[in-house]
Structure 1
Amino acid sequence: MAISMWALSDSKGSPEHAEDNFTFLARGVEFKGVLNFDGTVRVDGRLEGEIHTTGMVIVGESAIINGIISAGVLTNSGKINGTVTATERVQILKQGVLIGDIRTPAITIADGAHFHGMCDMGADKWTDDANQPNNNVHDLSLRRNKMRAPNL
């Protein structure tokens, strides 16, 4: 299998440190299934299924992903068709295409990138506030018939 893990820095000297793990799915590799990782995942091949990590997912220019991505950060230069959840942010770079729904608190879409879908950036608080009565707003429709006609 062409999935490899390397320690980016060996300062801790232990593979238990998730932020040091780097996983690579190379160009030309096709994978179907569910991938659960700690740390950073870079995909340059084809994946059909799911990727789950609390770290970063980097989708290279040659990558094609059909499925679900759950990560801390997603950086996309390839093609994604599916659902994306990122706890920190989503970045769709110039060459990137993302078709599907996104749930993230922050998103960046570069000029030339393509996105088609829904994006939920956690506006639940705003919609809750919108339902609260506002005493500073007055209904002017009640005064519509009482307005004076302009002098012509």
Structure 2
Amino acid sequence: MFNSKNKTDMQPEKTSAGNGTTLIGAGTTLKGDIHSNSDLRIDGTIVGNIHSTAKVVVGANGAVEGDITGLQADVIGKVAGNIKVKDLLQLRGDCTVNGNIYAGKLQVEPSATFNGQCHMGGAATPVLEASQRNGKAEKEAILQ
């Protein structure tokens, strides 16, 4: 009666690298660029660019004012900036994206709003590779 098959619901989701998900909670505002090697979920507001080697999720109450670069992205909230993902980009629910998209694959729900240009597959590859090189150079400059 009280047993649940979903006992792991409270545990952070693990990525293939074994890292947990980083959460930017509702009511939190961060100003500045974020560099992450693990999944990132944004339910607050980010004013700055996001560079991730994993998945970036912008929750229903989340907002990003800057560019997002990552392996995958799932947008349910608001993004004012370009989105560059190597694999799958999902625009879900009542999300709003104002900026250009560069993605290997794109999935858009009918209720999503997108204003910008879309570059997919081979057309997106050179831009994504340049973004990854620039992100590594920026990270190395910050660490020095």
Matched residues in 2 for 1:20 and 1:88: separation?
A: 19
2:120 aligned partner: 121
Matched residues in 2 for 1:105 and 1:87: separation?
A: 5
One-letter code of the match for 1:111?
P
- Detail structure 1 runs of 4+ shifted over 4 Å in the superposition: none
TM-score (norm 2): 0.72
1:103 aligned partner: 102
Matched residues in 2 for 1:76 and 1:23: separation?
A: 16
Matched residues in 2 for 1:41 and 1:104: separation?
A: 18
Q: Give ranges in structure 1 of 5+ residues lacking alignment.
A: 1-5, 10-16, 125-152
1:68 aligned partner: 67
1:82 aligned partner: 81
Identity %: 26
Pair 1:8–1:105, CA change in 2 (3 A): closer
CA contact (8 A) 1:24 1:43 kept: yes
How far apart are 1:7 and its partner, in Å? 6.0
How far apart are 1:56 and its partner, in Å? 0.5
1:51 aligned partner: 50
- Is 1:91–2:90 an aligned residue pair? yes
- For the pair shown, the structure with the greater C-alpha radius of gyration is 1
How far apart are 1:122 and its partner, in Å? 3.4
One-letter code of the match for 1:99?
N
Q: Give ranges in structure 2 of 5+ residues lacking alignment.
A: 1-10, 124-144
2:128 aligned partner: none
User: Tell me, what secondary structure is at the counterpart of 2:61?
Assistant: coil
User: Tell me, what secondary structure is at the counterpart of 1:61?
Assistant: coil
How far apart are 1:41 and its partner, in Å? 0.2
One-letter code of the match for 1:73?
Q
Matched residues in 2 for 1:94 and 1:116: separation?
A: 15
Indicate the RMSD between aligned Cα atoms, in angstroms: 1.7
How far apart are 1:123 and its partner, in Å? 4.4
Matched residues in 2 for 1:84 and 1:21: separation?
A: 23
